[in-house]
Amino acid sequence: MTTMDIIPTVDDPMALFSAWYKDAQESEINDPDAMSLATATPDGIPSVRMVLLKGLSAEGFTFYTNKESRKGQQIEANTRAALCFHWKSLRRQIRVEGALTEVAPDRADEYFASRSRESQIGAWAADQSRPMADRSVFMDRVKDATARFEGQDVPRPTHWSGFQLTPVMIEFWLDKPYRMHDRLIYWREGEGWKTERVYP
């Protein structure tokens, strides 16, 4: 884990994110890959929830979900979204804004195959975000899906996929005493980035 007085200005904010993320993986007790995902309806009504970062590259941040869920429907209607990482042990936060695109089917297949069998079964059994008369209905569907795929690999449902957020803005926040925090923002500008340090 590294310590710092202020956030360093670098050419590539994704490299800085990777360094902070590595620190979080070493210091956070639970889920250093947890991030809040904010989406909105076409008329701007926001919704936010926690998801897990499942892919990181120079191009962006990837997570997976049921496309028929509430967030999936919002993403289909409005691809602009935001992420927020908060690592309490490091007293650091990163906000990201950008547009979401669905990952290629083979990439979704690869990640789905890496999940536990129980999670794969759950993806078939759950009508995510939709009303459920009783939890026993869901558990019965889990049993049915388990029996259906007994003795074979569980295929990825067509309604389950991944999305990558390609950032146009990344803000790094570093906690400082007396609320004199340090904030550094990167804005996408052509093929590069411009930076500005802002008041806390």
pLDDT tens track for 15-50: 999 999 999 999 998 999 999 999 999 999 999 999
Question: CA neighbours within 13 Å on the CB side: how many for 183?
Answer: 11
pTM comes to 0.93
The domains located in the chain, with CATH, are 13-198 (2.30.110.10)
* Cα distance between residue 8 and residue 172, in whole Å: 10
CB-based burial of residue 186 (10 Å sphere; 0-12 exposed, 13-18 middle, 19+ buried)?
Answer: buried
SS3 call for 90: coil
pLDDT digits (tens, 9 = 90+) for 128-172: 888 888 999 999 999 999 999 999 999 999 999 999 999 999 999
Q: How far is CA 20 from the centre of its chain?
A: 16
Instruction: Give residue 156's identity as a one-letter amino acid code.
Output: R
Q: Are the CB atoms for 198 and 95 separated by under 8 Å?
A: no
- Active site (annotated) includes residue 179: yes
Q: Considering just the CA atoms, what is the radius of gyration of the chain in Å?
A: 19
Which of 130, 179, 183, 188 is flagged as catalytic? Answer: 179
